[in-house]
Amino acid sequence: MKTYKIALIKGDGIGPEIIDEATKVLDSVASCFDFDFKYEEVLMGGCAYDETGDPLPQETITAALSSDAVLFGAIGGEKWDSLPREKRPESGLLRFRKELGVYANLRPAVVYDELINASSLKPDVIAGVDLMVVRELIGGIYFGEPKGRDENKGWNTMVYTKDEIVRIAHTAFNIAMERSKRVCSVDKANVLDVSQLWRETVEEVAKEYPDVELSHMYVDNAAMQLIRDPKQFDVMLTGNIFGDILSDEASMLSGSIGLLPSASVGSKIGVYEPIHGSAPDIAGQGIANPIATISSASMMLRYALGEVEAANRIDAAIKKALKEGYRTQDLAQHDAKEVCSTSEMGSIIANYTAK
């Protein structure tokens, strides 16, 4: 029997609650297949600062790099907002991504038929939406130098090298080859020099994928088109800050940010996490939606461990739970037959996974 070593970073706020439900489902699906999991829980975020004085202890990096994958909940909260920037949870997360070399953030946005009325958009606009945002994760304006501020001015620099663009473009085109073979590269090439390099480089990479249709779109238009006609997109390829914004916008097509997962991958270890935050205002109340984290665990099985059949089993279980009318509090007003707690929803999906 294969044993996969998984580093668990529960984090802050609702992080521990949602990670517990994801591991419940993972253990359930493992019982149906010829593998199991060995979990190692490590610290990152505000909880790590409280215990060690560092939002990212070296032990966490070491454990992650010696694992097969990382399953991550969420970090941060107002409690730590007054800390110096380098001590805040978000700084630990940025450093973690850089240390692990996870340069590609994959964020699917899928509209479940059972929740077609949960979106603020008309059903005919979003029915059948299934797109993937491929966001460059460890370059761009969040990491560019120089950066700084004084009393009257603050400055950041958006920087991309050609090599950074090439590797994220290959990721997007390879994913498109497994989907509908369409890539829309999003930039601001009419204004930014860095975006001109981005566009030229993506076009060069595209020549290696003659079966994939490449289009370009300015980021402001892309933001509008995601609302006007989201079904026109298959794979959206973009840089760090544009992808940060567009992927959150795309997440709301589904009706709840609590539904959608993400994967951060590169040349070392992948990190799998929900796209939402730590939601400290609802932590400990048992009302958080665990589906995004459970879906992230499914992505981990698919992309990191190659357990595609097990991933499909989890995805089917999620759809069945929604079809049967089970909802957490965030979706209670949308055709709910039964409103479930965080733990109850995890157990329902785990039970469907085992059947």
| Buried b / exposed e along 33-47 (16+ C-beta atoms within 10 A) | eebebeeeebbbbbb
User: Tell me, what DSSP letter sits at residue 304?
Assistant: I
- Contact yes or no for 246/186 (Cβ under 8 A): yes
* Identified catalytic residue from 12, 54, 234, 244: 244
* Identified catalytic residue from 4, 24, 54, 188: 188
User: Tell me, what DSSP letter sits at residue 44?
Assistant: -
* Identified catalytic residue from 142, 303, 326, 352: 142
Nearest-angstrom CA–CA distance, 22 and 285: 18
* Identified catalytic residue from 50, 81, 220, 229: 220
* Burial class, 227, CB count within 10 angstroms (exposed 0-12 / middle 13-18 / buried 19+): middle
Task: Choose among 217, 233, 216, 222: nearest CA to 181.
Answer: 233
6's CB contacts (< 8 A; 6+ apart) are 26, 37, 38, 39, 40, 67, 68, 69, 70, 71, 300
* Identified catalytic residue from 68, 248, 319, 335: 248
Query: Has 248 been annotated as catalytic?
Result: yes
Query: Has 207 been annotated as catalytic?
Result: no
Query: Has 162 been annotated as catalytic?
Result: no
Q: Taking CA 12 as the corner, what is the angle to CA 92 and CA 263, rounded to the nearest 5 degrees?
A: 65
Query: Has 244 been annotated as catalytic?
Result: yes
User: Can you give the three-state secondary structure of 27-42, one letter per residue?
Assistant: HHHHCCCCEEEEEEEE
Query: Has 36 been annotated as catalytic?
Result: no
286: left (phi over 0), alpha (psi -120 to 50) or beta: left
Catalytic sites, residue numbers = 142, 188, 220, 244, 248
